[in-house]
């Protein structure tokens, strides 16, 4: 059960029974177990809370158990059937691991592709600069160069610069 579920399951009367204390009197009071000599019964029991008009002790069902037994909230919580969320199953953590790995690989590939694109474009521009400074190419070379550029463009390696 979660904390809220426990709160919905038990009221203060259930808690008193668990602590082996008598039921509240007609006015809803019990003798306070948190201070000595409470002959007048000054601890008022509400549905989900309590308040002592003698010593000022107050709180909810958890704090009553904590105070009464002198234990931590965690222990009181467990005592009332509380459960902390179960640890992630091996299968779940494995699939999370795989998803992360996959994303990592995807990112790496993208970076690699971008670098390749850049390298190719750098080569092409170097080549263009070289061409512009050398003597005109033969018809055959021009055809080759144009064909190469077209291929690269179709392979999306060469960016369209027009």
Q: Is 35 in the site for Zn ion (CB under 5 A)?
A: yes
C-beta of 55 vs 142, nearer to Zn ion: 55
Q: How many residues bind Zn ion (CB under 5 A)?
A: 7
DSSP letters of 40-64? Answer: T--EEE-SSEEEETTT--EEEHHHH
Of the candidates 39, 47, 50, 40, the residue with the CA atom closest to the CA atom of residue 9: 47
Q: Is 55 in the site for Zn ion (CB under 5 A)?
A: yes
Q: At 49, give phi and psi (nearest 5°).
A: -135, 175
Site for Zn ion, residues 93 to 112, rule: CB under 5 A: none
- Cβ atoms of residues 32 and 23 within 8 Å: no
C-beta of 6 vs 16, nearer to Zn ion: 16
d(CA 40, CA 31) in angstroms, rounded, equals 7
The minimum distance between CB 19 and Zn ion, in angstroms, equals: 14
Among 11, 21, 49, 54, binds Zn ion (CB under 5 A): 54
Among 32, 41, 61, 124, binds Zn ion (CB under 5 A): 32
- Give the Cα-Cα-Cα angle 89, 81, 77 (nearest 5 degrees): 95
**Only segment of 15-23, 56-64, 94-102, 138-146 that touches Zn ion (CB under 5 A):** 56-64
Residues contacting 21, CB < 8 A, separation 6+: 30, 33
Of the candidates 5, 12, 8, the residue with the CA atom closest to the CA atom of residue 59: 12
**Only segment of 11-19, 50-58, 76-84, 115-123 that touches Zn ion (CB under 5 A):** 50-58
Among 52, 76, 124, 158, binds Zn ion (CB under 5 A): 52
The minimum distance between CB 77 and Zn ion, in angstroms, equals: 23
The minimum distance between CB 40 and Zn ion, in angstroms, equals: 10
Task: List residues binding Zn ion (CB under 5 A).
Answer: 32, 34-35, 52, 54-55, 57
């Amino acid at each position: 059960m979660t904390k809220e579920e426990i709160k919905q399951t038990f009221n203060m009367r259930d808690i008193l029974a668990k602590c082996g204390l008598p039921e509240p009197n007609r006015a809803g009071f019990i003798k306070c177990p948190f201070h000595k000599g409470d002959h007048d019964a000054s601890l008022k029991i509400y549905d989900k809370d309590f308040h002592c008009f003698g010593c000022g002790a107050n709180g909810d069902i958890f704090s009553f158990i904590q105070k009464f037994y002198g234990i931590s909230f965690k222990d009181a919580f467990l005592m009332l059937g509380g459960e902390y969320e179960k640890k992630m199953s091996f299968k779940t953590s494995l699939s999370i691991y795989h998803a992360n790995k996959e994303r990592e690989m995807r990112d790496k590939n993208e970076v690699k592709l971008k670098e390749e694109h850049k390298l190719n474009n750098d080569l092409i521009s170097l080549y263009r600069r070289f061409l512009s400074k050398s003597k005109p190419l033969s018809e055959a070379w021009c055809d080759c160069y144009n064909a190469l550029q077209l291929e690269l463009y179709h392979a999306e390696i060469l960016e369209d610069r027009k």
